[in-house]
Structure 1
Amino acid sequence: MEVTAPAPCRPSACLKVSQVLSRIGDKWSVLVIMRLRERSCRFSELKREVDGISQRMLTLTLRNLERDGLVSRTVTPSIPPRVDYELTALGHSLAEPVQALGAWAFQNMAQIEAAQAHYDGGERRP
């Protein structure tokens, strides 16, 4: 598959793209998307499985992903009500490139850490 470079974008279009990338590229969104890639989850499961996320941040992340059409929320009437979250078709289409980016980071972590140590050691380029 051949990938072509995108045409230069108008300032308003670039701003919109930047906003979308900012949202889907944040730490918590990526982790939630990767978790939901496997199967739907209840809120409490996500909270338990996304290490370090607070209840408030998980709520905000899920709301934003739902607003962007990446996650759907299903409420099942029961006591207490059961709420399940799952990726939409759009969310699944995003999970693949996010997974590839994560794999790249994992494969290159040693080089990145070495570069950081070199930089932090004061051996910066002029």
Structure 2
Amino acid sequence: MAEQNTVGDDFSLAGLNFFVADDLNRAGSAGGFTLSREDMTAELENLRRLHNRIEIQRRRAAPLWSIVSPGSDPASVRNTTASNASGESYDDLLTRQSQFVATIIGKIETALGMTQRHDEQAAAEIGNVGGGHF
């Protein structure tokens, strides 16, 4: 089964693109976010920290959706069920946030990786054509 690049039922990041351009004045409009390598790398680290914080928050919040009823009377069962449902909603929110941030991290990593491969390829080609000397 192919994994869709969606967050939530009506929000898709499929058309979101990131581009690395060291000269932002000449980057043009490519239909996405264009950042310098330095800015994109810094933002990637910020997003990784955010993703980690969301995952820590999710682990720590697990008791909110795994409450055990203190009794079997209807009021205790009803309140426990409602509390667990609220906790499950919070878990869903944290899961969606984690997926959203992970998708953006992946797109930025791809942009940085593609640019790095192109830079390495260009350097190799320049080296093959005359050692890079004029």
TM-score by length of structure 2 reads 0.29
- TM-score w.r.t. structure 1 length? 0.31
Structure ranking higher in strand proportion: 1
- Which structure has the higher relative contact order (CA within 8 Å, separation 6+)? 2
